[in-house]
Amino acid sequence: MRFINAVLRTAIFLVIAYLAVTAYFGFRVGREIEKAKTKNVLVNVAADLGRAYVEQAAVKVANLPAYVTDSPTFWWAMRATE
């Protein structure tokens, strides 16, 4: 029983850590998008017209691995900080 509890606690900790790390990366990418929008009016207008394209381009520029961008907390944090 102790072993199962230890494994369960470790698994829960790893899931929480994964979600926290991916949220942090989403926050960082969202801040970069926001910086680009504030520097140039044309980028701001284009970002409003093609939000999905801007997000995908920012993720590609950030060169993040797929296991980070597959997390829902990555996208939530990125969109919350844009």
What tokens does 10 get? 């470790």
Q: What single DSSP character describes residue 71?
A: S
Are the beta carbons of 5 and 59 closer than 8 angstroms?
no
What is the residue range of 77's domain? 2-81
3 vs 36 pLDDT, higher one:
3
- The pTM for the full model equals 0.80
Residue 40: band (very low, low, confident or very high) from pLDDT cuts 50, 70, 90: confident
Q: Residue 38 pLDDT > 80, yes or no?
A: yes
pLDDT at residue 59, as a whole number: 87
Residue 13: band (very low, low, confident or very high) from pLDDT cuts 50, 70, 90: very high
Domains identified in the chain, total number: 1
